[in-house]
Amino acid sequence: MSSGITLDSIMQAPSPASAWVLATDSAESGLDSEVVLIAMRRRIAEMRDSIRRGLASSAPSITGMVGWNAQGLWDAPDVLNAPLLKRVQAYAMAVNEENARMGRIVAAPTAGSAGTIPGALLGVADHLGLDDEQLVMPMVLAAGVGKAISRQMFISGAAGGCQAEIGSSAAMAAAAVTELLGGSSRACAHAAAMALMNTIGLVCDPVGGYVEVPCVSRNAFFAVHAVSSAQLALSHLESFIPPDEVITAMAQVGRMMPLELRETAEGGLAQTPTGLAVTARMEGAGVNG
């Protein structure tokens, strides 16, 4: 994806936004659209495979902190009678538990946030009985949103806290789900903006430096967050702050965030007695996060 795409330009583009993103990117980069579509189909297939493997396994990660959560949720009774919620959460955790087991996943945009888009997009699609081919163009839009964000701010927890990482994946997923469900370009951009603005300030404090706790459950939460953003945008609710200004605000907060809360494991959950005990145990075993 080229860098001329912004959230504001997506908002003003003719609908569907994905077609505009694809055409704009092709014009700017010279990359054939068909090559992009083939790559997106491959990523969707990889996401689906990681969900399948994740739901089929309860093997613990190297630290023993995660590994059984997705399967446990998937097999549990649906006590809220909310099958979409359960599916979205289980898919997201399945992907991130695969990541924690060093399984193959699609970084979207990072490995730590890899479960959010599959959880939200494939979760909604499967809930509604939609075909994977219908996900290809929403995935193009998700990539365009990711590129728009990365033009203005960092997308890694080390650079800008978890808001940058999971906020980006939630924004990408929110726009994609909105388009999948027939939303306009304007609605897609606002879905992304609402997902981002409600992630601002989230710190990166992984226990032991491993992308496991809080990362696995965080993807479940923010996959739902993305679906919530899509629902608001499809109901014509909008971000009061224009989308690109939300990105700027998040980048500013990221620059203000102390180093201790940016993937160094020197603050937050990583510094709890339980977090420190995991770190000591892994260091004792000669393994570093």
Residues engaged in binding ligand SF4 (CB under 6 A)? 112-113, 157, 162, 165-166, 204, 206, 211, 214-215, 218, 263
| CA–CA gap between residue 219 and residue 221 (Å, rounded) | 5
Q: Minimal distance in Å, beta carbon 36 to ligand SF4?
A: 26
CB closer to ligand SF4, 16 vs 112: 112
Q: What is the number of the residue whose Cβ is closest to ligand SF4?
A: 157
CB closer to ligand SF4, 152 vs 217: 217
Q: CA dist 176 to 72, 106, 199, 230, 274, Å?
A: 28, 16, 18, 8, 37
Q: Minimal distance in Å, beta carbon 243 to ligand SF4?
A: 22
Tokens of 88: 């979205």
| CA–CA gap between residue 169 and residue 209 (Å, rounded) | 20
CB closer to ligand SF4, 135 vs 278: 278
Q: Minimal distance in Å, beta carbon 131 to ligand SF4?
A: 30
| Residues 6+ away with beta carbon under 8 Å from 172 | 108, 109, 116, 117, 142, 143, 145, 146, 149, 192
CB closer to ligand SF4, 138 vs 208: 208
Q: Minimal distance in Å, beta carbon 275 to ligand SF4?
A: 12
3-state secondary structure of 158: helix
CB closer to ligand SF4, 209 vs 242: 209
DSSP 136: H
Q: Minimal distance in Å, beta carbon 269 to ligand SF4?
A: 8
